[in-house]
Amino acid sequence: MLGWAFEANVGEVKSALEKRGKVKVELIMIRPDTLAEGLKATQPEMLFSPLALPDIEIKTEKNGKEKQVRVTLKGVALFDRKHRRTEYKHAGSGYVSAWYLDEDYDGDCFVDCQMFFDFRKKPALSKLGVEVPDDEFTLKLTSDPFPVRGYKRIAVKVVDVYGNESVVVRDLAT
């Protein structure tokens, strides 16, 4: 399937279609800049990129009477066109530039509740009089704990080093 944008639950739909029978679904993003005059990619191999589906782990824990959740980004699965197979990239491999967590996804609007970035180079914040520990500039793979809320669903958005975005949605068991 080729597209400029995919719904957040595309991974679940893909899995459901593949479970029905002998069909393999590959999700390929068409670069949005191919539509803009003057920004068109000139090399054919740059026109399409595989949609990487985030691989996450959800753990629940008790904090007194309240149930809290932590999400860990394990990696992303992407389709390697050259070898015609799905390739797995671990979250700490340098392929993921950033990931975002919507702690109470309503199925419509993605709200960044927690954001995690991988800085290739530490910003020169000391010139501004700001001191930040070095570990704050590396990609954190596990979220801070948060309570289960009204919609009882989360969404995780991953941005890769090429600027491609992909989202996975999961229901939280109550």
**Is the pLDDT reported for residue 102 higher than 60?**
yes
The CATH architecture assigned to 53-171 reads Sandwich (2.60)
pLDDT at 132: 73
pLDDT at 47: 63
Q: Is 37 left (phi over 0), alpha (psi -120 to 50) or beta?
A: beta
Using alpha carbons, select from 155, 160, 174 the residue that is nearest to residue 10.
155
Pairing of strands 153-160, 96-102: antiparallel
**19 or 59, which is more confident?**
59
Provide φ and ψ at 82, rounded to 5°. -60, -45
**Is the pLDDT reported for residue 87 higher than 70?**
yes
Helices and strands in the chain: count of H runs, count of E runs: 1, 11
12-16, 33-37, 155-159, range with the lowest pLDDT: 33-37
CB 139 within 8 A of CB 115: no
